[in-house]
Amino acid sequence: GGEIVRLLDPRIAAATRDAALARLRRLQAPSGGFPWFPDGAPSPYLTLYVLSGLSRALEVGLEVPRDVVLRAWSYLEQHWRRELSPEPAGDCCWPQITFLAYVLSAYPDLGWTGGAFSEDDRRRMLDRAFARWREHPPLLKGYLALALHRAGRHDDARLVFDSVMDSARSDPDLGTYWQPEERSWLWYNDVVSGHAFALRVLTELAPTDGRRDGLVQWLMLDKKLNHWRSTRATAEAIYALVHHLRLSGELAAREEVTVSVGERRRRFVFEPEVYAGAGNRLVIAGDELDPPALAVVTVEKDGPGLAFASATWHFSTETLPATARGDLFTVERRYYKRRLEGGEWRLTPLAEGAPLEVGDQLEVQLTLRLKHAAEYVHLRDPRPAGCEPESTASGPRWHLGIGWYEEIRDSGTNFFFDALPAGEYPFRYRLRASLAGRFKAAPAQVQSVYAPEFVAYSAGDRVTIAGHETATPAAGRREAPPDAPEETPP
């Protein structure tokens, strides 16, 4: 908290801005271009990138050095006339032309470009970029749509951006989102940056489109479950959110949320300039709990915008849950008796009444599903007391393109994931029935470590083990690890 407060102090923000602008002045070459490294050759792309950032500063009313901007545009005009305007063979430069047209459109008047680029230049840029719009990745389509819209070509702009929005999905829990790009590690396919800029485009292009709220919901949910890996992605998200909040009247607005639990009501007030902290909750102690009266929790909020709320019951019970429960996360568990028949290993579900005896082998199969990508996830699977693990070695595991740390403990098995994309993941491991009796297996539970309100659990199970020992594997024979293909024994 302290670092953020100092960062947002007006004096520190002003000093940081002035230092950054002074560094830009030192980096700018005599030609007006900006290099990747000090004293390096000027780069047209990096110069455009700097101008794009300065245009966003202008949007929010910050002072921008006009002389720096004018010299940069002079350099880019020379680059356009020398390299891009002649239309090289194969028309290889349309992505850069699209970005150039977008950044030009972001400056409010010709006084910021010094007369660089004639109206004919700008028209030719847009025509060449629009001719290849189907080949643009989503982020470049957003750039092109805004450039076309600002040039008065509204139908062309909607055609381009409708192709982006038509592939979006909307879900009450997840908001509006897209499936990750095939090569999402490329900067222009970065999920957060692309998603945020889609919000920025929709805010200007179609401000009444209801999917804007869904885009914001997905961004906020992603921030709770993941960390944004770059300052670029974070800045892009804040930039888009500021425009959205300003349009919807939510920027710097006082918010009130009322929570009702039975007869209890509490009002939470959030002032825009005050950090509310982490203590915004209504707690009801166990001795005050009346389940019939307090089983319904109502959250009310006046005004536009989103508010995240969660309700958690802490309880202890000997009753096992009969069904799995979850929302963004779900986990299911199944037990199988594993036996060798005719030289082949066969699995029989315990739910079908397969008897167990001391010495029998069980296979535990866990199915984990995530609707939204999440980082730092913990999956815990308690073990029935009459069973022992076949493997006692904890360590890293890799399967199905993901990695995790698997920890074998006396009470169960833990799975720790650094990152899990949205999808379905099966896991399995083996136990040995070692003690006769009737045993309970508490439900498997999956939870986000840093957003613990996202949690799910499986159904509970009961395991009965008879006392008669069966034959154990031949001495010296080593069991195959859980993920290895089965081998027919000699």
pLDDT band at 411, cuts 50/70/90?
A: very high
424 burial type by CB count under 10 A (0-12 exposed, 13-18 middle, 19+ buried): exposed
Q: What is the pLDDT of residue 365?
A: 97
263 burial type by CB count under 10 A (0-12 exposed, 13-18 middle, 19+ buried): exposed
What is the Cα–Cα distance from 198 to 235, expressed in whole angstroms?
14
Assess whether pLDDT exceeds 50 at residue 483: no
CB-CB contact of 300 with 306 (8 Å): no
Q: What is the pLDDT of residue 459?
A: 95
Phi-psi region of 65 (alpha: psi -120 to 50; beta: other; left: phi over 0): beta
pLDDT per position as a tens digit, 366-406: 999 999 999 999 999 999 999 999 999 999 999 888 999 99
Q: What is the pLDDT of residue 4?
A: 57
Beta strand residue intervals within 395-436, DSSP E: 395-399, 402-408, 412-420, 423-433
**Percent above pLDDT 90 for the chain:** 64
CB-CB contact of 184 with 139 (8 Å): no
Which carries the bigger pLDDT value, residue 72 or residue 187?
72
CB-CB contact of 176 with 214 (8 Å): yes
pLDDT per position as a tens digit, 11-58: 988 899 999 999 999 999 999 999 999 989 999 999 999 999 999 999
pLDDT per position as a tens digit, 233-254: 899 999 999 999 999 888 888 8
204 membership: H or E segment, kind and range: helix 191-205
pLDDT per position as a tens digit, 119-175: 999 999 999 999 999 999 888 999 999 999 999 999 999 999 999 999 999 999 999
Closest CA to 133 of 183, 166, 95: 95
* Chain-centroid distance, C-alpha 336: 35
Q: Average model confidence (pLDDT) for the chain?
A: 88
Q: What is the pLDDT of residue 352?
A: 66
Which carries the bigger pLDDT value, residue 483 or residue 154?
154
Assess whether pLDDT exceeds 60 at residue 475: no
pLDDT band at 468, cuts 50/70/90?
A: low
Query: Nearest-5° angle of CA 291, CA 297, CA 299?
Result: 165
Beta strand pairing call for 356-357 and 461-466: parallel
pLDDT per position as a tens digit, 78-105: 999 998 888 765 567 889 999 999 999 9
Q: What is the pLDDT of residue 471?
A: 42
What is the Cα–Cα distance from 214 to 237, expressed in whole angstroms?
14
pLDDT band at 109, cuts 50/70/90?
A: confident
Q: What is the pLDDT of residue 289?
A: 82
Q: What is the pLDDT of residue 104?
A: 96
Assess whether pLDDT exceeds 50 at residue 59: yes
Mean pLDDT of 428-448: 94
Assess whether pLDDT exceeds 80 at residue 470: no
CB-CB contact of 420 with 401 (8 Å): no
Name all contacts of 166-169 with Cβ < 8 Å and 24+ positions apart. Answer: 168/198, 168/211
Residue position matching structure tokens 């098995």: 413
What single letter denotes the amino acid at residue 121?
Answer: D
At 238 the three-state DSSP class reads helix
Q: Which pTM does this prediction carry?
A: 0.82
pLDDT band at 108, cuts 50/70/90?
A: confident
Other Cβ atoms within 10 Å of 356 Cβ, number: 21
pLDDT per position as a tens digit, 130-146: 999 999 988 899 999 99
What is the Cα–Cα distance from 373 to 170, expressed in whole angstroms?
16
CB-CB contact of 129 with 97 (8 Å): yes
Which carries the bigger pLDDT value, residue 473 or residue 46?
46
Mean pLDDT of 203-215: 94
CB-CB contact of 442 with 364 (8 Å): no
Q: Which two tokens stand for residue 38?
A: 């000090």
Q: Which two tokens stand for residue 64?
A: 């921008």
pLDDT band at 183, cuts 50/70/90?
A: low
Q: Tell me the H-state helices in 108-186.
A: 119-131, 138-150, 154-165
pLDDT band at 186, cuts 50/70/90?
A: low
